[in-house]
Structure 1
Amino acid sequence: MPRRRPGSSLTAARELYLEVTKDPSARPLVVASWQRSIEYEVKSGCINAPYLENPNLDSPLARAALPIVNRLHEQLADDPVSTMITDRDGVVLSRKLSHEGLTTRLNRVQLAPGHVFAERYVGTNGIGTALASGRPVMIAGSQHYVEELRDFHCAAVPILHPVRRTLLGAFNLTTVRQGSAGMLMALARSVAGQIEGEIAAISSRRERALFQDYMDACSSVRPGPVLALNREVVMMNEQLRSAVTGPDHYALLDHAREIAADARFEGTRSIALPSGRVAELRVGRSRREGSDAGAVFRVRVIGRPQPGPVLAAGPGRPGVRLVGSSPQWLRAVAETEAAFAAGSWLHLVGEAGTGRRTLVHAVHGAHSAGRRLETVEAPPSETPNATEHWLREVRELRARPSTVVLLRDVHLLGDRLRRHLTRLLARPDGTATGQLIMTSQPSMVTTDDELHSLCGASVEVPPLRHRYGDIEHLVRFFLLKYRPSGESGCSPDALAMLERCPWPENVRQLESVIRGLARRPIGGIIRVDDLPPECRVSSHKVLTAIEALERDAILRGLMDRNSNVQRTAQDLGISRATMYRKMRRYGIVPSSLT
């Protein structure tokens, strides 16, 4: 296949694609992969494989594959062949090779641990095409979509879960030696089969271990409610099933999944349930033979269901009125109000769209006593001039008497600016009389953060997915706001679907959805068929980080484009068919196909 011709990369790729389709030896699998690569608008003239730090080597796939690959590496000795394991997203988890020249060549094309070799980024290649097609593939030389990969010959085989047959990743062999396609593919198939066999053994041992610990907990003298789970299995006894029902049931499972995902956590955790009750979870890990099989929870439910008011008033003055009655939200409001009234420096931590700014404005309105609220955004750049101007603004605002300074999104500040800000705030200054409030996202906050430690109080604002009981109240509030005249409401089925949504953008996304519905001529009652695609997510599967990002991108795209699937697919650089396939994968079911 000739090298790229003059002109744009996409035009050249289309011309080469036509040549591939005319080649009698071209396999349908390769032709289909080239078509997908063109739809993704992959640049054939340069390699662009994204990089993820710290790929997960603690997955069942990695634990099963690495010993097998290590043994194979010893057998291959000095052969110029590289062995690789990737996850189902195309992230290279492990690479083994003993030929120094091949190491340099693979590094030049970014075929190294942490880089993502999915077709979406790299076009037709052994790893990405095997994952996309679900079939063993041999991609040799000019069959690669990106020019820089055309010196390599790659044999890749998908690795499936031996029981559920879901895609876990791929095993890949790469060489520059020609004429070895048959040997490479036979070896790749053999090794992939060994890995699947080891995964079956590990999964069986893990599930047996978790089941045994679960049975031990259930058969103790006073078992009570018991829950055991990992990424693949959920077990609960009858005591838990009858004690925790409805929204409390979903809330408990969501919290338990998040706790179980942290293999280091053991101990006691208390969570507030939508009904107003508190679930005390005693968490133990199921560890056998050096492997973590999941978590076992002994559950104690405290209190009785409390029907909370729609409008929550704080413990001080009754002026703080915010929609929501879930225990997590009421606690955040009460703690924020108490810190504000005491004049303490306050750090509000929460995901984007959870209502941190709304909470600050409501509390300030109730307790301002004439104090002015000044909001300072993170600077658009951190050049010396911009940094100096921004720090001067913060210093001057703090010097104003009776001023409340709100520093928004401090997680966006670079390390250098954070250090400057920390020194500014920590330095005693008799003229600085203003109160300080900071907001940030939870993933960016650490316990040893000096800037965070300057605040006398820290409040966690809960995400909407943990506020099941507030969905109905928020829907009514936004309907009244955007449809003040005329009857409006939500059918029970539509409300139940809204309560099951993951809401990646939290309250802000819910408000946008209701605003769009209120402006459409859909009659008085909102029914399931009226809901936009981002509200019709029915999948509760645990997603990888890349899957969650991709799902959220699709949801936001549909929301921004008024549920137009075709336009969303075009803007995301994928075909309409691929868009529908991904929507089915993530449980996004549109009410109508636009």
Structure 2
Amino acid sequence: MPRHQPGNSLRVARELYLEATNDPSARPLVVASWQRSIEYKVKSGSLDAPYLDNPNLDSPLARAALPILNRLHEQLADDPVSTMITDRNGVVLSRKVSHDGLTTHLNRVRLAPGHVFAERYVGTNGIGTALASGRPVVIAGSQHYVEELREFHCAAVPILHPTRSTLLGAFNLTTIRQGSDGMLMAFARSVAAQIEAEIAAITSRRERALFQDYMEACSSVRPGPVLALNGDGVMMNEQLRAAVTGPDHYALLDHAREIADDRRWEGTRSIALPSGRVAELRVSRCRRGDSDAGAILRVRLIGRSQRGLAVSATPARPVLGLAGSSPQWLRSVADSEAAFLTGTWLQLLGEAGVGKRTLVEALHRAHGAGRRLEMAEAPLSDAPAVTERWLHDIGELLAMPSRVLVLRDVHVLGDQLRQRLRNLLTHLDRTATGQLVMTSQPSMVSTEDQLDQFCGATVEVPPLRHRYGDIEHLARFFLRKYRPSGESTFSPDALALLQQCPWPENVRQFESVIRGLARRSSGRMIHVEDLPPECRVSSHKVLTTIEALERDAILRGLMARNSNVQRTAQDLGISRATMYRKMRRYGIVPSSLA
């Protein structure tokens, strides 16, 4: 196929499509997909479908679809047709095929569970194009963008959530049989409708079960504040609504969502709220057989609101040079400092960008006299020679009592290397070693992980979205850092927007924003219109986990594309109109964006 320079990508896409397919009808939906494939710089001469380990088979879509695919597999025995279900990102979750010849063809192009068939990787194809366009599609033969896929005929139908109409994934039929496009599409639509109906039934059963347990909790002799939630909704009684308001309300919901997402967690947990109060959460799961319908949280509030003090308080432990005075942050600093002072091995848990490394460096500056701070990360390769050298270096560093070794991001270590690291730590003489600090992301740490048994203390560093009271402290801290001679400050409206932003990349992102403002803004007062797009989130709508991920993806895209809505929409595989609709939905203010 001749190569064209992508000037007008739509014209180029149409020309390439006509050359490849000799199809004068040039369906707009397929041509638009070819246009996106060109803009993604997909190579038509080679197939690159990335592989994702352990695709999520515990999603509502997978639970609803897999029994249906199993029944279809029996009905289609020996028929050269493959049935597949994918998630919203184009990851193949399950594939059923009973025809050996077709299996060979599919394996050759990696159209198999775990591989990603989004348009950005493999160009126009049934799965990716249905997900990108949000419409049922048939991609037949030469309409595929990548040449290796042109022997296939595919019909794919997007699968939507029955009540929220959000995209969950797609159902796909693939065959190498010619002239069966109409039959394929009719069959695919029918199966997709069955899957959506089953999702609706499961959702209804879950909601009824959660509502039943919620009402029982609310109707007890002394119910107190009660909260019930799952990925689809939130219920709270009037006692909770009246007792927890403002920033405390949003902080409590953030914590509750994270607790509800962990289906194995039950018991009591205490969290510090922005006002200075503590919320004691007694968590029980709503279960029916093998199904988990959500969590019921009985809430007890301890202490009095101290909002006035929290706003004006000077951050504790100024000797460490750390900004922030929220109870969650101060507790993390104090617990980490106590472990550091006694030489206790320490595990720091926290999302990317929350400041784990900054905290360790501050502790070392204040209390590490005579000891050298060393940073180590996971090896870049799992080649035996590389891992052997890495383990040797870790052992050498820990063998020196004058060292503080920070082993960063241990959650990325593979199982085999983790086992060898455990063996190394087990055989160390703990009376003559340096101090070890391990950092991890909490969502990546398995409950069966054994590395934490070597640490005498585990501290969780809170994400910035749980530190509402620290936004003003951090803003002033970073303004002084990047504009030391200036007197800049934020208008009340601008500061309020900063406090509402979800900050998916935490303090790292916040510092980057303030650094940019310090360089760009020439006036003493920074106003709302000076803020970049990732700060323009004006909605406190309670989001599901999927919605929060979608919102954060949009924010990151706008950051990477310098506020360009059109290019961000193309990167995400959605139309510009859909992009603006989602921005309004998530409170991302579209004014002044490209």
Change (3 A) 1:422 1:232: closer
Change (3 A) 1:333 1:105: same
Q: CA deviation at 1:348?
A: 2.2
**Aligned with 2:316 (options 309, 313, 317):** 313
Change (3 A) 1:576 1:418: same
Aligned residue runs from structure 1 range 245-324, under 5 A: 245-288=245-288, 290-306=290-306, 307-308=309-310, 310-314=313-317, 319-324=319-324
Aligned residue runs from structure 1 range 342-491, under 5 A: 342-368=342-368, 370-378=369-377, 381=380, 394=394, 397-398=397-398, 402-412=402-412, 421-429=421-429, 432=432, 434-446=434-446, 448-491=448-491
**Separation of aligned partners in 2, 1:17 and 1:170:** 24
Q: CA deviation at 1:213?
A: 1.9
**Corresponding residue of 2:176:** 176
**Corresponding residue of 1:97:** 97
**Corresponding residue of 1:340:** 340
Aligned residue runs from structure 1 range 567-578, under 5 A: 577=576
SS at match of 1:208: helix
**Separation of aligned partners in 2, 1:431 and 1:214:** 52
| Count of aligned pairs between the two proteins | 584
**Corresponding residue of 1:44:** 44
**Higher deviation after alignment, 55-64 or 9-18:** 9-18
Q: CA deviation at 1:42?
A: 1.5
**Separation of aligned partners in 1, 2:471 and 2:453:** 33
Q: Do 1:402 and 1:434's aligned partners in 2 also have CA atoms closer than 8 Å?
A: yes
Q: Do 1:9 and 1:45's aligned partners in 2 also have CA atoms closer than 8 Å?
A: no
SS at match of 2:93: strand
**Separation of aligned partners in 1, 2:276 and 2:398:** 39
**Corresponding residue of 2:29:** 29
SS at match of 2:275: coil
Aligned residue runs from structure 1 range 71-220, under 5 A: 71-220=71-220
**Separation of aligned partners in 2, 1:527 and 1:430:** 54
**Separation of aligned partners in 2, 1:218 and 1:567:** 49
**Higher deviation after alignment, 64-73 or 272-281:** 64-73
**Separation of aligned partners in 1, 2:394 and 2:587:** 46
Q: Do 2:491 and 2:526's aligned partners in 1 also have CA atoms closer than 8 Å?
A: yes
Change (3 A) 1:344 1:49: same
Q: CA deviation at 1:384?
A: 6.5
Letter in structure 2 aligned against 1:225: P
Q: Do 1:90 and 1:131's aligned partners in 2 also have CA atoms closer than 8 Å?
A: yes
SS at match of 1:519: helix
Q: Do 2:13 and 2:35's aligned partners in 1 also have CA atoms closer than 8 Å?
A: no
Q: CA deviation at 1:559?
A: 4.2
Letter in structure 1 aligned against 2:43: K
**Separation of aligned partners in 1, 2:502 and 2:181:** 46
**Separation of aligned partners in 1, 2:6 and 2:107:** 23
Aligned residue runs from structure 1 range 516-531, under 5 A: 516-531=516-531
Change (3 A) 1:56 1:346: closer
Change (3 A) 1:79 1:557: closer
**Separation of aligned partners in 2, 1:23 and 1:184:** 20
Q: CA deviation at 1:522?
A: 4.8
**Separation of aligned partners in 2, 1:506 and 1:555:** 13
Q: CA deviation at 1:505?
A: 2.3
**Separation of aligned partners in 2, 1:195 and 1:365:** 58
Q: Deviations over 1:32-64 (max 9, x none)?
A: 111111111122222222222333333333333
Change (3 A) 1:372 1:565: farther
**Corresponding residue of 1:541:** 543
**Separation of aligned partners in 1, 2:288 and 2:416:** 45
**Separation of aligned partners in 1, 2:454 and 2:578:** 47
Change (3 A) 1:130 1:528: same
**Separation of aligned partners in 2, 1:413 and 1:558:** 31
**Separation of aligned partners in 1, 2:69 and 2:431:** 65
SS at match of 2:98: coil
**Higher deviation after alignment, 379-388 or 187-196:** 379-388
**Separation of aligned partners in 1, 2:474 and 2:466:** 14
**Separation of aligned partners in 2, 1:194 and 1:459:** 47
Q: Deviations over 1:110-135 (max 9, x none)?
A: 22222222222221111222222222
Letter in structure 2 aligned against 1:373: R
Q: CA deviation at 1:236?
A: 0.9
Q: Deviations over 1:110-165 (max 9, x none)?
A: 22222222222221111222222222211111111111111111122222233333
**Higher deviation after alignment, 320-329 or 17-26:** 17-26
Q: Deviations over 1:224-266 (max 9, x none)?
A: 1111111121111111111111111111111111111122222
**Separation of aligned partners in 1, 2:395 and 2:436:** 11
Gaps of 5+ in 2: none
SS at match of 1:56: coil
Q: Do 2:6 and 2:38's aligned partners in 1 also have CA atoms closer than 8 Å?
A: no
Q: CA deviation at 1:563?
A: 4.4
Q: CA deviation at 1:377?
A: 2.8
Q: Do 1:565 and 1:576's aligned partners in 2 also have CA atoms closer than 8 Å?
A: no
Change (3 A) 1:235 1:152: same
**Separation of aligned partners in 2, 1:355 and 1:26:** 53
Q: Over aligned residue pairs, what C-alpha RMSD do you find?
A: 3.5
Q: TM-score, normalised by structure 1?
A: 0.87
Q: Do 1:352 and 1:505's aligned partners in 2 also have CA atoms closer than 8 Å?
A: yes
